[in-house]
Amino acid sequence: MPDPVLISEVGPRDGLQSIDRVMPLEAKIDWITAEAAAGVREIEVGSFVNYRAMPQMADTAALVEAACRIDGLAVAVLVPNLTGARAALKSGAHKLSLPLSASETHSQRNVNRSHAQVLEEIAQIRAAVDAVPEETRPHFEVGIATAFGCSIEGAVPEAKVVQLAEAALAAGAAEVGLSDTTGYANPAMIRARIRAVRAAVGDKLTGVHLHNTRGLGLANALAALDEGIRTLDASLGGLGGCPAAPGASGNIVTEDLAFMLDAMGFETGIDLDRLARTREILARALPGEPLYGFLADAGVPLGHGSQTQDAA
């Protein structure tokens, strides 16, 4: 029986927000169109932030409009606050994701709000979402940022992460995810925190967002899969970072994650060769920008796909 895993591509948001250059709208559309054609089923295309502070995201509404025309693609956006959520609702995005940072210092730097203020805004966003007719109402989730540690505050207590996950759901998020914004996680911590959050909120914890800052990204992904997580964010070429978290660097690499899942017998719906070729769009649009990952160079193993006896 196939065990499906959803890879949510976050490169057009998390990747491009970490690069000063502004990628032209047409290149973004080419990118997401090519990834969707390769079988990627969900893409976070941008962020409804203040475009003066982050001009890379200024075309998010136009990009959502284009992305929503791609058949079968779930179009996600990041919203930092109620203003962003209102813009997202207007755009027609299918999914709104709001960061609630476990580190209050990071929360202040990232969205200029305390925990209490973010939780209040979650409730307001819930109300705004519920005002949308049911047939076009988007999904609203909260990602617990810096859930495994903060490069400003240092260690983040597990109990704080659990408490904020509960509070976000109580305030109106439909589900929560855990984000290793800073690349601080390790597999033991991933397992322990997923278990702790699951013990409190059950299957309302659905996904993880991992960075590869210390090379542990896919090991952490494996730990999350072992705990039953079936939605993982990743970024083509590993682009990524967080402007508000010093030292944060790239996300786990979509191509390498897709290969790992495929090799393990999970079903991602992704054509690895087509996915690897979408890197060319990035390379052309962002000349000189380092792209990470191994699969694109190494290719799949000889005989890959014929070893069903080793499937998970």
Question: What is the binding site for its own copies (CB under 8 A)?
Answer: 149-155, 158, 182-184, 186-189, 192-193, 212-216, 218-219, 221-223, 226, 247, 249, 253, 256, 259-260, 263-265, 293-295, 298-299, 301-303, 306-307, 309-312
Cβ proximity to its own copies: between 179 and 249 the closer is 249
Catalytic, out of 162, 242, 248, 286: 242
How far does Cα 267 stand from its chain's mean position?
A: 19
Measured CA to CA, the distance from residue 222 to residue 272 in angstroms comes to: 19
Cβ proximity to its own copies: between 53 and 312 the closer is 312
Least distance from its own copies to the Cβ atom of residue 302, Å: 4
| Catalytic status, residue 242 | yes
Cβ proximity to its own copies: between 12 and 293 the closer is 293
Cβ proximity to its own copies: between 84 and 293 the closer is 293
Tokens of 256: 């390498």
Least distance from its own copies to the Cβ atom of residue 97, Å: 24
Q: In this structure, what are the phi and psi dihedrals at residue 217, rounded to the nearest 5 degrees?
A: -55, -50
The distance in angstroms from the start CA to the end CA of the chain is: 10
Least distance from its own copies to the Cβ atom of residue 228, Å: 15
Measured CA to CA, the distance from residue 221 to residue 209 in angstroms comes to: 9
Least distance from its own copies to the Cβ atom of residue 135, Å: 40
Least distance from its own copies to the Cβ atom of residue 257, Å: 9
Cβ proximity to its own copies: between 20 and 310 the closer is 310
Q: Which residues are catalytic?
A: 242
